[in-house]
Amino acid sequence: MGKTLFDKIWDAHVAHQVEGGTDVLYIDRHFIHEVTSPQAFDGLRQRGLPVFRTERTIATADHNVPTRDQHLPIQEELSRFQVDKLTENCEAFGVRLYGLGHPYQGIVHVIGPELGLTQPGMTIVCGDSHTSTHGAFGCIAFGIGTSQVEQVLATQCLLQKKPKRMRITVDGELQPGVLSKDIILYIISRLSASGGTGHFVEYAGSAIRSLSMEARMTICNMSIEMGARGGLIAPDDKAIEYVRGREFAPKEEDFEAAAAYWRTLYSDEDAQFDAEYHFRAEDIEPMVTYGTNPGMGMGISQSIPEPPATGNPRTYQKSLEYMGLKPGQKLLGQPVNYVFIGSCTNSRIEDLRLAAAFVKGKKKADNVTAMIVPGSKQVEIQAKAEGLDQAFREAGFDFREPGCSACLGMNEDKVPKGEYCVSTSNRNFEGRQGPGARTILASPLMAAAAAIAGRVVDVRQEL
C-alpha cells in the first residue's frame, strides 16, 4: 500500500517508537514567541538544562507588541514584561531573536516562510495553534503547549501519537471575488468546528493547486479551526520557486539537491486516507461568519440558519445572542464600525495588494475604524515600496506596524464591546478581539469592501 504525504514526512522523522503507539518525533524547526516560552525557559533553568539545538530555534515578538510607535517602550505593563522576558531568555540561552526593531521581526507564521526558514518536508512546531500555516509547503506543522515547548527546547524531539489522515479535495474554478479565505471558511462551515478532530488534513484538487503560496498558507492556517491537528499541501514547483533565493533557504547545489527530495513529497496514488471529502470550487461564494466559532459561517447571499437538529440548541442561541443576530437574518447590509485586515491568516503582501487595489481612489465610511496591520517588517517595507500604505491612508485606513494586533485582545488593538468588526483573522470566539467584541470573519476583499461601504456587502457586486 502506498503512503500519504503525511506518512512519508512523519515516518522520516520518527527517532524512536514507544510501546503503546507513541512516537518520539524529531523536530526540524522550532519557532517561539513571548507568550508560551517564559515558563518553558524557567523549566530549563530549574533542571539546569541548555537549549539542545539553538540553531533550530527561532524567536520573534508578535502577540503582545503594539502596532504603533514600536521604537518607544511598550505601554501595557504585562505586554512589556512578556516581550522583555523573551529578550532576556533568548540572550541567556543563545537563541536567535527577531525582536522589535529587527528587520526580520513579525508574526511567527509570516516570517518563517518569507525568510526561507520554512521548507518542504520539515517537521515544525510552535507554542501557537496556527503553526499549521507552514503546512502550505508540505510540512508537518502544528501547535504545541508550554510543557511541549520545554520538551523541544531540551531535546529537539516531541512525544506524539500519530493522528489519522484526511484528504479534502477542491476541484474547479473560483468565482471572481472568491479567495482562499472563502474556501477554508466554506469547508469549515460544511464540516463544522470539530469535523477534523483527530486528523491531519491534506488539501488537494485543481482549485488548491491553482492558488498562490500565500493563499495556500491561509488554507492551512485555519485547519485548526475545524479541530484538525494541522493541514498540508504537497509541494510543487510553486512551493519550490517560492523558497528559492530566500535568506535562509539552501543555496545553489544544496538547493537543487533539496528540491529533488521535495519533489518526492506527495501522496501515492494507492495511499489510503481515514476520511475523504470533495467540494466544487464553483459552489463557493464570499463567506462570512455569524456566530462565535469559525464553523458558523455562510455564503454572503444566505441567511442565518435555524438551530441545528443535533447538538445543543441553547449553545447555538447563546452564540447568536452574543452576536446580536437572529435565525433567518442576512448579514448582507449589516452595519459595521471596525475593519481589521491582518493576522497570520491574511497579513501577507498579496493580501495587502488585493485590499489596496480595491480601496484605491475610494474613501472609507465615516463610521468605520479600519486597521491595516502587515504581518512582518518585510511585508511593511514591501508595502511601502509599492505605495500600498499611501493608497490605504488616502482611503482613510490606519496603516500600522507589524504584530498580531486585533486578531486577539492581548495588546492595545482591541474592538470595543458590542461593536461589529469584519476581520481577516482566524477566530471569532467571544471576546477574541476584546471583551464583548463581535467578530465577522471574512476575506481581505470582503473586509476592504465593508470598510468602504460601512456595512457588510457582497464584494462580487463591488468589483
pLDDT at residue 45 in the model = 98
Residue 400: pLDDT band with limits 50, 70, 90: very high
Residues written for the chain: 463
pLDDT at residue 410 in the model = 87
Residue 272: pLDDT band with limits 50, 70, 90: very high
pLDDT at residue 19 in the model = 84
User: What's the whole-number mean pLDDT along residues 411-421?
Assistant: 95
State yes or no: pLDDT of 248 exceeds 80: yes
SS3 per-residue string spanning 199-232: EEEEEECHHHHCCCHHHHHHHHHHHHHHCCCEEE
pLDDT in tens, 5-52: 999 999 999 999 998 889 999 999 999 999 999 999 999 999 999 999
Share of the chain above pLDDT 90, in %: 96
The answer to whether the beta carbons of residues 36 and 131 sit under 8 Å apart is: no
Output the average pLDDT for the chain.
97
Residue 368: pLDDT band with limits 50, 70, 90: very high
Domains and CATH numbers, the chain: 5-161 (3.30.499.10), 287-461 (3.30.499.10)
pLDDT in tens, 370-393: 999 999 999 999 999 999 999 999
147's grid cell: 510543557
The answer to whether the beta carbons of residues 31 and 124 sit under 8 Å apart is: yes
User: What's the whole-number mean pLDDT along residues 235-258?
Assistant: 98
State yes or no: pLDDT of 310 exceeds 80: no
pLDDT at residue 91 in the model = 98
Select from 92, 175, 253, 79 the least CA-distant residue to 443. Answer: 175
199-204: strand order across its sheet = 230-232, 199-204, 164-171, 275-280
CA distance 443 to 218: 10
pLDDT in tens, 133-152: 999 999 999 999 999 999 99
The answer to whether the beta carbons of residues 375 and 105 sit under 8 Å apart is: no
106's grid cell: 513579525
By CB neighbour count within 10 A (0-12 exposed, 13-18 middle, 19+ buried), where does 82 fall? buried
State yes or no: pLDDT of 311 exceeds 80: no
**What does pTM read for this prediction?**
0.97
The answer to whether the beta carbons of residues 294 and 319 sit under 8 Å apart is: no
pLDDT in tens, 63-85: 999 999 999 999 999 999 999 99
301's grid cell: 447571499
Residue 308: pLDDT band with limits 50, 70, 90: confident
State yes or no: pLDDT of 312 exceeds 90: no
By CB neighbour count within 10 A (0-12 exposed, 13-18 middle, 19+ buried), where does 440 fall? buried
User: What's the whole-number mean pLDDT along residues 175-197?
Assistant: 97
The answer to whether the beta carbons of residues 30 and 1 sit under 8 Å apart is: no
